[in-house]
């Protein structure tokens, strides 16, 4: 009987070992690669044929979105004019599992004449390409995950992982931050959360504000009209607590005291979590997820100015 799950598990086993083995082949050429990329004034150009070309395109996209200007150049097109895309300020990362890809080999003389640094990713450290490299990154794999040992599977996984390692190292050295990432991703949900401030989405009008002496029935009325599922407890305009519908239920269940006798100060949670109005939505979301809360009080210059809700951020 056909068992696709077992086949999938075998692929995962082979490819996970391939990635682990990459670390064993790392040497100072990896650091040299990073140094070369950091030293250039231009762009990081990636090139490869076939499946290596597809992986090169993805690595270029990752680098570009994480602070390293990059793009993909097709080797065949390079032979017919696209070499003009490169300048002496650029660096070329050539990807070929065999290290003998004809189209790449044919552009090397032009690369050398222009004194463009060359990094080679290959599974063959004795290949022609490897011998031409200023830095060589070994992506050798013992076996492909392909049952026929024909389609590049493990080798493309290894190449992609090496590209991710380069991008991560460059991000760390450049101190690339979430706000930098957001600048390159303004259209997606993540980008909007990283670029939008809390004050742009918070509820700021008709806030359900009470004082420590507010009685239970009034609490219920104010919380209901506020439609935020909470009351903000202020004393002389200072935040002293917060009351959620959960706080109300817990107070009633844990105490035989008539509900009409409860006051806000007996029910409220003190030291509530807060977020500054100038913080990004991503920061507010992180706080709420970390503390398993659905709303958070917003302050500006130590004054309560609003409430931000997790569900509202989720709609961004």
Q: Which residues are annotated as a binding site?
A: 74
Q: What are phi and psi of 307, to 5 degrees?
A: -140, 135
Pairwise CA distance, residues 80 & 223, whole Å: 70
Q: Are 275 and 296 in contact (CB under 8 A)?
A: yes
Pairwise CA distance, residues 245 & 65, whole Å: 43
Pairwise CA distance, residues 17 & 149, whole Å: 16
Kindly give, in sequence order, each residue whose CB lies less than 8 Å from that of residue 252, ignoring residues fewer than 6 positions away.
259
Beta strands in the chain (DSSP E): 44-48, 70-72, 91-95, 118-122, 135-138, 209-210, 230-235, 238-244, 274-276, 295-300, 303-309
Residue at token pair 């913080």: 279
Give the residue among 204, 205, 191, 168 at the shortest CA–CA distance from 280.
191
Could you tell me whether strands 274-276 and 295-300 are parallel, antiparallel, or unpaired per DSSP bridges? Answer: parallel
Pairwise CA distance, residues 177 & 199, whole Å: 22
Binding-site residue numbers for Zn(2+) are 74
Could you tell me whether strands 230-235 and 209-210 are parallel, antiparallel, or unpaired per DSSP bridges? Answer: parallel
Q: Is 237 helix (H, G, I), strand (E, B) or coil?
A: coil
Q: Is 42 helix (H, G, I), strand (E, B) or coil?
A: coil
């Amino acid at each position: 009987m056909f068992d696709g799950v077992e086949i999938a598990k075998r692929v995962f086993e082979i490819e996970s070992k391939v990635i682990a083995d990459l670390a064993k082949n790392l040497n100072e050429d990896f650091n040299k690669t990073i140094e070369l990329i950091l030293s250039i004034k231009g762009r990081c150009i990636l090139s490869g044929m076939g499946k290596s070309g597809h992986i090169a395109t993805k690595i270029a996209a990752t680098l570009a979105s994480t602070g390293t200007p990059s793009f993909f150049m097709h080797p065949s097109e390079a032979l017919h004019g696209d070499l003009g895309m490169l300048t002496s300020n650029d660096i070329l990362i050539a990807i070929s599992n065999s290290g003998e890809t004809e189209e790449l080999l044919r552009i090397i003389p032009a690369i050398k004449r222009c004194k463009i640094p060359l990094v080679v990713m290959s599974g063959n450290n004795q290949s022609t390409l490897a011998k031409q490299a200023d830095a060589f990154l070994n992506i050798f794999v013992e076996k492909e995950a392909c049952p026929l040992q024909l389609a590049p599977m493990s080798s493309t996984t290894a190449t992609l992982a090496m590209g991710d390692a380069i991008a991560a190292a460059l991000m760390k050295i450049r101190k690339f931050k979430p706000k930098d990432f957001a600048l390159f991703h303004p259209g997606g949900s993540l980008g909007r959360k990283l670029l939008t401030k809390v004050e742009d989405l918070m509820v700021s009008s008709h806030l359900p504000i009470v004082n420590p002496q507010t009685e239970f029935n009034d609490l219920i009325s104010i919380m209901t009209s506020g439609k935020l599922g909470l009351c903000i407890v202020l004393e002389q305009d200072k935040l002293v607590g917060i009351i959620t519908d959960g706080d109300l239920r817990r107070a009633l269940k844990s105490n035989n005291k008539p509900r009409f006798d409860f006051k806000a100060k007996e029910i409220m949670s003190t030291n509530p979590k807060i977020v500054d109005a100038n913080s990004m939505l991503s920061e507010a979301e992180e706080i709420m997820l970390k503390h398993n809360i659905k709303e958070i009080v917003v302050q500006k210059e130590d004054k309560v100015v609003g409430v931000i809700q997790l569900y509202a951020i989720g709609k961004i």
